[in-house]
């Protein structure tokens, strides 16, 4: 069955992909600059360090990491902008940096911080230029504009010169520009950066539809809302290396070990007595008597143990367990305090061996 073969054939395949940048190492001042002319010193940094990724058609992958972790560099390697120092990359059967133009036809790229619209032209003209570049027929072009108008309210932006657009408007127009040729593979590098909530929601809604239509998506973002809304798989990169690659739920299971339970008992119980029974948990009194918040490591205590302990003191009136947020995990990665020891039952943890 063709569907079965499709499922095992990755559309994006990166193996041990590495990009080393060489920067001139100049010491301070004129003297440093002069010295650099004579003895050249360079610092090399591996922006992307032996990254392997395998993405199947129709997958939506969140690509997450702190500033300078190598996210954009990876996207640039995948789109053929940069030539890798070592390693291999194949996208839709094409080596991007070797066959840049063929790759450009199958891929849509958006760099949220930069516009690909022609700065001095009305949006309509930029799109018409792209239409001609990609050889899009008039009927298809009209259909695409109608689609973008429906989701992104593009119509009102068409007559506006690109440099006069607000950030949110620009992003909507840029999304249309990146997706006009119906690319099967889309890289979005921070598509919601600097947008207000209303526009953000609209963009996310649009991305969800895109994924539902079967587009393969790599989404680079700092906005964790984007991830939970759109992606089911997450790859976390730090210092150029992929430190996790797997399901969004898996990352929570693996790294979000802390659970938080809010308990209300029918009678007033001293918080100290609860804490005494649960020495491994952190117990804080709630707003009213008999209310507690209990934080515990789910690999030390189970929720059942916590509930059993609480109900041994008094009857439980109400119980609420906070959903572990992907945000907590990613925040830990960003602040560099993520414990890189996945639990035994962790799903697909791609910790660098």
Partner 1 sequence: MAARAYLCMVKVSARTVLTYRANFVLGLFAVFFQLLAMLYVWRLLLESGKDFGGYTWPQMKAYLLVAFVTSSLVSAYGDFRMAARIRDGLVSLDLVKPVTYQTARFAETVGRAALELAVTFAVAGSIALVTGGIPVPDLPQLLLFAVSIAAVVPLKFLVVYLSTLLCFWTQNYMGVAWARTSLVALLSGSLIPLVLLPSWLQTTAMLLPFASLTATPAAIYLGQATGGEALGLLLTQAGWVTVLWVAGRLVWRFAVRQLTVHGG
Tokens of 203: 């963009």
Q: Which are the contacts of 230, defined by CB distance < 8 A and separation ≥ 6?
A: 60, 62, 204, 207, 208, 211, 217, 219
The Cα 140–Cα 69 span in angstroms is 39
Q: Which residue number, 142 or 163, has a Cβ lying nearer to partner 1?
A: 163
Considering only residues 16, 25, 88, 132, which one is a binding residue for partner 1 as defined by CB under 8 A? 132
Q: Report the site for partner 1 in 24-83 (rule: CB under 8 A).
A: 65-73, 76, 79-83
Q: Report the site for partner 1 in 135-174 (rule: CB under 8 A).
A: 135
Q: Which residue number, 76 or 200, has a Cβ lying nearer to partner 1?
A: 76
Q: Which stretch in 1-9, 53-61, 124-132, 290-298 sits in contact with partner 1 by CB under 8 A?
A: 124-132
DSSP letter for each residue of 273-328: HHHHH-TTSEEEE-SSTTEEEEEEETTTS-HHHHHHHHHHHS-EEEEEEPPPPHHH
Considering only residues 18, 46, 116, 166, which one is a binding residue for partner 1 as defined by CB under 8 A? 116
Quote the least distance from Cβ 164 to partner 1, whole Å. 12
Pairing of strands 216-220, 185-189: parallel
Q: Which residue number, 274 or 333, has a Cβ lying nearer to partner 1?
A: 333
Cα torsion 128, 131, 132, 133 to 10°: value is 120
Residue 129 near partner 1 by CB under 8 A: yes
Q: Which stretch in 35-43, 86-94, 102-110, 295-303 sits in contact with partner 1 by CB under 8 A?
A: 102-110
Q: Which residue number, 180 or 306, has a Cβ lying nearer to partner 1?
A: 180
Considering only residues 26, 35, 36, 105, which one is a binding residue for partner 1 as defined by CB under 8 A? 105
DSSP letter for each residue of 73-96: HHHHHHTTSS--SEEEEEETTB-T
Q: HSE-up of 196 (CA within 13 Å, CB side)?
A: 5
Quote the least distance from Cβ 87 to partner 1, whole Å. 15
Q: Which are the contacts of 61, defined by CB distance < 8 A and separation ≥ 6?
A: 53, 55, 217, 218, 219, 231, 233, 234, 235
Quote the least distance from Cβ 39 to partner 1, whole Å. 19
Q: Which residue number, 115 or 254, has a Cβ lying nearer to partner 1?
A: 115
Residue 21 near partner 1 by CB under 8 A: yes
Interhelix angle 248-255/326-334, nearest 10 degrees: 70
Quote the least distance from Cβ 184 to partner 1, whole Å. 14
Q: In what order do the strands lie in the sheet with 291-297?
A: 282-285, 291-297, 258-265, 316-321
Quote the least distance from Cβ 332 to partner 1, whole Å. 18
Coil/strand/helix, residue 28? coil
The size of the interface with partner 1 (CB under 8 A), counted in residues, is 39
Considering only residues 17, 48, 61, 109, which one is a binding residue for partner 1 as defined by CB under 8 A? 109
Q: Give whole-number Cα distances, 142 to 124, 179, 337, in Å.
A: 12, 14, 50
Q: Which residue number, 181 or 259, has a Cβ lying nearer to partner 1?
A: 181
Quote the least distance from Cβ 133 to partner 1, whole Å. 4
Residue 99 near partner 1 by CB under 8 A: no
Coil/strand/helix, residue 347? coil
Whose structure tokens read 């089911």? 232
The pattern of x and - marking residues 234 through 253 that bind partner 1 according to CB under 8 A reads --------------------
Cα torsion 45, 51, 56, 57 to 10°: value is 10
By the criterion CB under 8 A, which residues form the site for partner 1? 21-23, 65-73, 76, 79-83, 100-102, 104-105, 107, 109, 111, 114-116, 118, 120-121, 125, 128-129, 132-135
């Amino acid at each position: 069955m063709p569907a079965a073969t499709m499922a095992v054939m990755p559309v994006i395949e990166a193996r041990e992909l590495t990009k080393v940048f060489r920067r001139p190492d100049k010491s301070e001042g004129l003297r440093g600059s002069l010295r650099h002319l004579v003895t050249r010193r360079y610092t090399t940094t591996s922006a992307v360090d032996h990254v392997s990724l395998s993405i199947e058609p129709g997958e939506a992958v969140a690509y997450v990491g702190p500033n300078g972790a190598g996210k954009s560099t990876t996207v640039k390697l995948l789109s053929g902008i940069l030539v890798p120092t070592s390693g291999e990359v194949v996208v839709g059967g094409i080596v991007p940096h070797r066959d840049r133009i063929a790759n450009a036809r199958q891929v849509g790229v958006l760099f949220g911080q930069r516009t690909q619209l022609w700065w001095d032209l009305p949006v309509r003209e930029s799109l018409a230029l792209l239409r001609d570049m990609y050889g899009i027929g008039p009927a298809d072009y009209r259909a695409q504009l109608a689609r973008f108008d429906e989701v992104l309210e593009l119509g009102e932006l068409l007559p506006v010169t690109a440099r006069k657009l607000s950030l949110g408007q620009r992003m909507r127009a840029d999304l249309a520009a990146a997706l006009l040729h119906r690319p099967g593979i889309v890289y979005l590098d921070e598509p919601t950066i600097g947008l207000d909530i209303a526009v953000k929601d609209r963009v996310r809604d649009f991305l969800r539809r895109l994924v539902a239509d079967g587009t393969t998506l790599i989404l680079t973002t700092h906005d964790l809302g984007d991830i939970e809304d759109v992606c089911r798989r997450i790859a976390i990169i730090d210092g150029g290396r992929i430190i996790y690659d797997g399901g969004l739920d898996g990352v929570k299971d693996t790294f979000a070990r802390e659970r938080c339970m809010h308990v209300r008992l029918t009678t007033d119980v001293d918080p100290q007595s609860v804490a005494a029974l649960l020495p491994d948990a952190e117990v804080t009194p709630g707003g009213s008597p008999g209310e507690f918040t209990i934080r515990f490591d789910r690999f030390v205590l189970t929720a059942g143990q916590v509930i059993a302990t609480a109900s041994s003191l008094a009857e439980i009136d109400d119980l609420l367990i906070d959903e572990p947020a992907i945000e907590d995990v990613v925040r830990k990665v960003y602040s560099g305090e993520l414990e890189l020891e996945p639990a035994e039952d962790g799903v697909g943890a791609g910790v660098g061996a």
